[in-house]
């Protein structure tokens, strides 16, 4: 078959169709965490900021602290059309704080009581999903225009990678699978999928796949060995302590993940953060 001046092999078409079906299966695969938001009594929705009161906001150099009072109108979800008062606390940390203006669109979480009534409104951040989808569509369009058939295969591999990370890797980590092993397996599988999709069943493709798998295995083994030798723990990201101390009634933080982080601390367990 010839597409846009490129001779397409039948094996390439079958491989792409296989990964499209596999992608759809992964997207509709249940993870067990679909109802976590409703269990916590929260409703995520889109809201429009209709009023802003900055009376209690203080300017300290380049940062702002205090409390921004908002009036918001829900524009999506079961509470669409309702208006609520909300508070936006400013901590003086520019990487965490967000400042709203009248007319902005916010991502809001509504906390409900047992009767299903709204008892607290939390404006989490600016609503960016619409713009993000626009950027994704633009990326896909440009990839198809300039890449043709190869660009289409690259797009399938991009979507497949996102689906595997979100629907397989993250749920497995939350369910307690060993983080190093499951991450190495997922990475190896993604290397195979991406390489075969883009390069096809060719000597060059299998050579690239062998090199990628060898690199993943080598990196994983070296990371496990030298992390302990260099006394490097895994709690290097901001707010990592929250992960170590987090407990929930419905599901627990992965014991394997916590042990990976705690091992360099020689088994230290605080009174509130036992991992056993």
Closest CA to 235 of 262, 217, 210, 254: 262
Determine which of 19-28, 152-161, 171-180, 263-272 has the lowest per-residue pLDDT on average.
Answer: 263-272
More confident residue, 58 or 36: 58
Give dist(CA 3, CA 26) in Å, integer. Answer: 28
* pLDDT above 70 for 234: no
pTM of the model: 0.73
* Domains by residue range for the chain, with CATH: 2-28+131-229 (no CATH), 41-127 (2.40.50)
> For residues 51 and 104, is the Cβ–Cβ distance under 8 A?
no
Q: What is the CA radius of gyration of the chain?
A: 24
Query: CB-side exposure of 205: number of CA atoms within 13 Å?
Result: 12
pLDDT of residue 267: 43
3-state secondary structure of 268: coil
Can you say whether the dihedral through the CA atoms of 269, 235, 186, 208 is positive or negative? negative
Taking the chain, what is the end-to-end CA distance rounded to the nearest angstrom? 59
User: Sorting pLDDT into bands at 50, 70 and 90, what band is 37?
Assistant: low
User: How far, CA to CA in Å, does 238 sit from each of 67, 76, 96, 194, 243?
Assistant: 23, 32, 11, 31, 10
Say what percent of the chain tops pLDDT 90.
38
User: How far, CA to CA in Å, does 172 sit from each of 22, 165, 220, 250, 253?
Assistant: 18, 10, 18, 16, 11
Phi, psi of 85, rounded to the nearest 5 degrees: -95, 140
Average pLDDT over residues 132-142: 95
Phi, psi of 28, rounded to the nearest 5 degrees: -95, 5
Buried b (16+ CB within 10 A) or exposed e, 71-99: ebebbeeebeeeebebebebeeeeeeeee
């Amino acid at each position: 078959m010839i597409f846009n001046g490129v001779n397409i092999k039948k094996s390439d078409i079958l491989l792409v169709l296989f990964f499209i079906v596999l992608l759809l299966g992964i997207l509709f695969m249940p993870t067990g965490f679909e109802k976590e938001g409703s269990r916590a009594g929260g409703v995520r929705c889109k809201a429009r900021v209709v009023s802003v009161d900055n009376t209690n906001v203080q300017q300290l150099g380049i940062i702002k602290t205090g409390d921004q009072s908002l009036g918001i109108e829900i524009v999506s979800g079961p509470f669409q059309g309702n208006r609520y008062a909300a508070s936006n606390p400013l901590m003086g940390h520019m990487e965490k704080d967000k400042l709203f203006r009248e007319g902005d669109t916010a991502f809001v979480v509504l906390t409900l009581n047992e009767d299903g009534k709204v008892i607290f409104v939390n404006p989490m951040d600016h609503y960016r999903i619409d713009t993000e989808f626009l950027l994704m569509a633009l990326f896909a369009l440009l990839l198809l225009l300039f890449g043709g058939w190869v660009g289409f295969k690259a797009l399938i591999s991009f979507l497949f990678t996102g689906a595997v990370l979100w629907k397989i890797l993250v749920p497995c980590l939350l369910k307690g699978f060993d983080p190093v092993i499951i991450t190495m397996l997922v990475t190896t599988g993604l290397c195979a999928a991406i390489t075969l999709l883009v390069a096809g069943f060719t000597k060059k493709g299998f050579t690239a796949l062998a090199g990628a798998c060898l690199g993943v295995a080598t990196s994983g083994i070296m990371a496990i060995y030298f992390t302990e030798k260099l006394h490097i723990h895994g709690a290097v990201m901001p707010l990592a302590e929250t992960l170590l101390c987090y407990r929930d009634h419905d599901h627990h933080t992965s014991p394997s993940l916590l042990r990976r982080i705690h091992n360099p601390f020689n088994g230290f367990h605080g009174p509130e953060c036992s991992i056993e």
